[in-house]
Structure 1
């Protein structure tokens, strides 16, 4: 049963920073516990992060290896776990893994912070992911697997390249439909980039529902940051660190998966991001050319009946072995 008032009455469940249990629900054989974290480690002290743990009901004390799933843009935790308890998160939890679903600032159950319109990837990687990693490690000290889809994978790569997430605390990383190398040539023309900044800067956010991109909005700060990355002299990083260059120091097993029919984040660009890592690399394109029955796109590579049959078992094998099955190598 849900407990909507627990956030108000429970004491902190962490020695790191204030954490409260927002809700605890049973979804069939699964337990879904939602924590609200107040790390207080960023310039905006109003930031609160929702972090959901999914595990087998009645087995909270018996935990497998932790797996952290990061949603993409215009999305939230429901990308991984539907209200009916269906999704990759449920599949992995039933396999005995300790599954955690992070929601970025202003997404899902993470409320909009005071400076919401300025939120960007640099905030996520400098402040939020380290806090999430610290709390999960406190609850389960085993090295964690991290998996991101689309922007979630980009955020994960940025955190590793910026050394905000330490590779020695991770067992593996997996990037699904994630890239930062696709070139948008008009943005290489400075007046076009400047004009785009001027126009978009008038808004606080882009509506996912209005543009039919997903259930969530994205802060305009993230969009302006992407314009800078793809500008004439842009780079994948912030004012302090070059995340792209930093990936060359990351010694960690990394899996990159692309969809054969994904035109938003094409396979060649996903492979290029993978190749910047220094550790063991594994790449796969999901489509008939690689022996799959379905030519996967950007979303259905993880959310579809076909993915349930073909891709989810592959993900589980990766998490258990840090390698792909021999037939797909």
Structure 2
């Protein structure tokens, strides 16, 4: 998912309220206030060295509000055709103008997108990540709490950018490295989400240069996450990498990318299609493929880019 190219978000009903990756300098977000705590962001090798005890800002990045139950009230329901458990709405939203320098709990200078559409969304992705700052971004505590009090799960972002925007295939290889039967970065993603109190990760792998071995390693990473995740945690996978490791946006769920959603068992909890889909073919084919895999068709999201270059 990159700022100059339209693509991504949810099947049958989805709303992309933001996306970008490389944006303004971090200092502009806060004015460089001394002692200001900031949200966490990492490259894969940095995440391996992270612990709550070693991060002085960690106490300020923890959400304090548990995920509330959603409810449906027919008396206030605007769309009479909306039915719980069917189509959902995901918002991928830029809250701050950069990946770094995001205040944990506010700052003297207000420079943020105050999301206000909580009743209309089922999932929020805290978008960010750039080759010049960091690829893995955790949501800030204020966003976690705002989402949770409205019953909306919130995901952090893992973004491997296209090569033209600085992507390096070595970062992807670092991400999926194994230590025996374990995936250390997956363990850290689980730990970070648990410690900070958010609900999982949106993974967008758009860096070219991979092969089928790397694709299988990524699938193994996702399967390991599924086997070891804590209750309530989830992964949403973005349609870019295919089975031979190439970056080839399919705009639908098909044989080339199904391995990242389902392969004899759950690999990801949902998939977000690239934005080039058509309702007449891609969505119908995606529905058929999801059913053939034994998955709910509403686990596949098809989105609309309503922001592009803006913040």
Tell me whether the two structures share a fold, i.e. TM-score over 0.5.
no
Relative to the length of structure 2, the TM-score reads 0.37
Determine which structure has greater relative contact order: mean sequence separation of CA pairs < 8 Å that are 6+ residues apart, divided by chain length. 2
TM-score (norm 1): 0.36
